[in-house]
Amino acid sequence: VMVIVVTPTYKRYTRVPDMIRMANTLAHVKNLYWIVIEDGNKTSPAVEDILEGTGLQYTYMAHPTAKGFPKKGWYQRTMALRFIRSNTDQILGTSKDGVVYFGDDDNSYDIRLFTDYIRNVKTLGIWAVGYCGGSPVEAPNVTDGKVASFNVQWSPKRVFAVDMAGFAVNLKVVLNSDAEFGTSCKRGTGAPETCLLEDMGLDRTDIEPFGWEGKEGQRKIYAWHTKTKPPYIKGKLETFGYQVEIE
Ligand code: UGA
Ligand code: MN
C-alpha cells in the first residue's frame, strides 16, 4: 500500500525548519510518495534539497493560489488531487493500493500515524488530533467501533468534524470521485475537510476510527496541530552566503 502524502507549503521564516522536521519523520516510512505543492511561482531550492535528502519518492511542483481561492493551501491540494488522478500508475509503482493523506507542513507527526493508521485505511480513516480547534484534543466519538458524533468544541455538527490532519482516504475513493477543494465551502462553518469528504460521497458510516481502543487516559495522539513561532530577527537581513529563506 502506497501512502500518498499531500503537503501545501509556502515561503516564510519557519518553513525550512518545519519541512526538515516533517521530512525527517516521513523518511522513516516505506512506500511513501510525497506530493509537495509550492504556493508560489517557483519551487524553492532549499525545499528541493530537503526532499532530495529524504530518499523518498516525491513530486515537488509550484502552483500559486488561483484567483478566488483562499491563501490556505486549498488550491494546492486541489492541484495535487488532479495530479494523483492523472498520474496514478506512476505514483503507485508496484503497489496495488494507495491511501491519500493531507499533511500540512507545520504539524507534528508520529511515524506510527503512517505505518499503523494511514496504511490500513480501507475507505475513510479518522483519528485524534492534538491541540486542535481550541481543544487539547479533537477525536471521533466511538461506540462499538462506529462513529456517530465527534468530541470537538469547534463546529461539532459538521458531518465530518475533523481537522485536515485527522483523516485519510483510500485512493479508490479519490479516483471514484472528482471532488476537489473549491474556492469556498458553503456548508456549516465553511470547513474544507467536511466539504471534501461529503463531496466524495462519504457519510459517517464509512468512518474507520483509529487509536480509540486504548484504556481511558492512555490513548495516544499521533498527529499534533502545532504552529511554529517565527524567529526574532533584528537588524540587517544578512545571510553570509547561506541558503536562508527570507519573507
Ligand atoms: C488549518 C487546517 O489544519 C488546514 O489544513 C486548513 O487548510 C486551514 O486550517 C484552513 O483554514 O483551511 P492552519 O494551521 O490554520 O490549518 O493553517 P496553516 O498551517 O497556516 O496552512 C495549512 C497548509 O497550507 C500548510 O501546509 C501551509 O504551508 C499551506 N499554506 C498556508 C499555503 O500553501 N499558502 C498559504 O498562504 C498559507
Ligand atoms: Mn498549520
* Alpha carbon 104 to its chain's center: 5
Measured in Å, residue 73 CA sits from the centre of ligand 1 at 5
Measured in Å, residue 37 CA sits from the centre of ligand 2 at 15
Task: Enter the DSSP assignment of 10.
Answer: -
234 domain-assigned: no
172 domain-assigned: yes
229 domain-assigned: no
135 domain-assigned: yes
Q: Which residue has the cell 481550541?
A: 134
Distance between CA atoms of residues 140 and 127, nearest Å:
7
- What confidence score (pLDDT) does residue 76 get? 98
pTM of the entire structure? 0.98
Range of the domain at 126: 2-224
- Minimal-distance CA residue to ligand 1 atom 29: 73
246 domain-assigned: no
Backbone angles phi, psi at 173, to 5 degrees: -65, -40
Query: Do 137 and 130 touch, CB atoms closer than 8 A?
Result: yes
20 domain-assigned: yes
Mean pLDDT of 116-139: 98
**Residue tagged active-site, from 38, 193, 245, 247:** 193
Query: Which among 72, 158, 227, 228 is the best mutation to test ligand 1's pocket, defined by most ligand atoms within 8 Å of the CB?
Result: 72
Instruction: Name the burial class of residue 208, with classes exposed (0-12), middle (13-18) and buried (19+) by CB atoms within 10 angstroms of its CB.
Output: buried
Give the pocket of ligand 1 (CB within 6 Å).
Answer: 7-10, 39, 71-73, 76, 104-106, 163-164, 192, 227
Q: Which ligand neighbours the alpha carbon of 133 most closely?
A: 1
235 domain-assigned: no
User: Is 49 labelled a binding residue?
Assistant: no
Each residue's pLDDT tens digit, 190-217: 999 999 999 999 999 999 999 999 999 9
Q: What is the CATH number of the domain that holds 19?
A: 3.90.550.10
120 domain-assigned: yes
- Minimal-distance CA residue to ligand 1 atom 11: 72
Measured in Å, residue 143 CA sits from the centre of ligand 1 at 31
Closest ligand 1 atom to the C-alpha of 165?
Answer: 3
User: Is the reported ipTM for this assembly greater than 0.85?
Assistant: yes
Mean pLDDT of 134-150: 97
* pLDDT level of residue 177 (50, 70, 90 thresholds): very high
Measured in Å, residue 225 CA sits from the centre of ligand 2 at 6
- Minimal-distance CA residue to ligand 1 atom 36: 71
Closest ligand 1 atom to the C-alpha of 76?
Answer: 33
How many structural domains comprise the chain? Answer: 1
- Minimal-distance CA residue to ligand 1 atom 20: 72
* pLDDT level of residue 63 (50, 70, 90 thresholds): very high
Q: Is 131 helix (H, G, I), strand (E, B) or coil?
A: strand
* pLDDT level of residue 246 (50, 70, 90 thresholds): confident
Is the model's pLDDT at 175 over the cut of 80? yes
238 an active-site residue? no
